[in-house]
């Protein structure tokens, strides 16, 4: 079956702009996670959804970051007033249980 | 404070030369430890979950083991296609995964 998909694969934007990153999880997976990965680092937790609600958003770095999952499937990570330090690969993962998280290919965000 | 340290940062092996990667962790209320493989430009690929000290899991040339403070990923007779970055991620009592910075493995033919 299809894995986790993320769009766009690459996004280049200018400082101060607003961006939206989309994640389509594996069908039937109730848990969805967003991570951020900088070059040479491991993924850093941002937010975790169980169904439609954010079960844990403690990893969001500040209030410029927001994520939604209105119907318990597709999720959108939204970043307002982007800064150069937001440049990273944004990874989405989904899980049916805690046995394993399955990651998408990521969206590479570059803020100029 | 929860911490994860992976060593070595980078490892070069000749094809067929077995070795081990280390993941040392300090995590409150460990609920499991995950191992992932990541190829350049791709998302992490799930390998194993270990839940308790003494547990071992195997997949092809890889075997993961867990103690109360460390996990090891043993690679037996590696092939060039095993070249990747290997990430470990303990899961704490709040179901958060803490990723290490990874070990970048290169297997030379």
**Whole-number Å distance between alpha carbons of A74 and B98:** 24
What are the tens digits of pLDDT across the range B14-72? Answer: 999 999 999 999 988 888 999 999 999 999 999 999 999 999 999 999 999 999 899 99
Instruction: Give the per-residue pLDDT at A98.
Output: 63
Residue B18: other Cβ atoms inside 10 A? 11
Print burial letters for A34-60: b (CB count within 10 Å at least 16), e (below 16).
Answer: bbbbeeeebbbbbbbbeeeebebeebb
Name the average pLDDT for chain B.
94
Shortest CA distance from A42: residue in chain B? B101
Domains along chain A?
5-111 (2.60.40.10)
Domains along chain B?
3-108 (2.60.40.10)
Residues in chain A with CB shorter than 8 Å from the CB of B99 are 35, 42-44
Instruction: Give the per-residue pLDDT at A100.
Output: 80
Q: Is A29 exposed, middle or buried (0-12, 13-18, 19+ CB in 10 A)?
A: middle
What are residue B78's DSSP bridge partners? none
| pLDDT > 90 fraction of chain B, expressed in percent and rounded | 84
Of B44, B49, B91, nearest to A43 by CB-CB distance is: B44
**pLDDT (average), residues A31-37:** 95
Instruction: Give the per-residue pLDDT at A1.
Output: 57
């Amino acid at each position: 079956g299809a894995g986790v998909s993320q769009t766009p694969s690459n996004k280049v934007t200018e400082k101060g702009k607003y961006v939206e990153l989309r994640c389509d999880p594996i069908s039937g997976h109730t848990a969805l996670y967003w991570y951020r990965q900088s070059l040479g680092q491991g993924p850093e937790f941002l937010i975790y959804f169980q169904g439609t609600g954010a079960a844990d958003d403690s990893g969001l770095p500040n209030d410029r970051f927001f994520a939604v999952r209105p119907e318990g499937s597709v999720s959108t990570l939204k970043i307002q007033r982007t800064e150069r330090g937001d440049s990273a690969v944004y990874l989405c993962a989904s899980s049916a249980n805690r046995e394993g998280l399955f990651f998408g290919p990521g969206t590479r965000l570059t803020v100029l | 404070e929860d911490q994860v340290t992976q060593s070595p940062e980078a490892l070069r092996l000749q094809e067929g030369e077995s070795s081990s990667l280390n993941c040392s962790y300090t995590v409150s209320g460990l609920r499991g430890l995950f191992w992932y493989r990541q190829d350049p430009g791709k998302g992490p690929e799930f390998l194993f979950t270990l839940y308790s000290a003494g547990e071992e899991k195997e997949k092809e040339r890889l075997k993961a083991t867990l103690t109360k403070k460390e996990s090891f990923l043993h690679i037996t007779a590696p092939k060039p296609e095993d070249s990747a970055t290997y990430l470990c991620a303990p899961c704490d009592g709040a179901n958060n995964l803490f990723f290490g910075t990874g070990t970048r493995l290169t297997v030379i033919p």
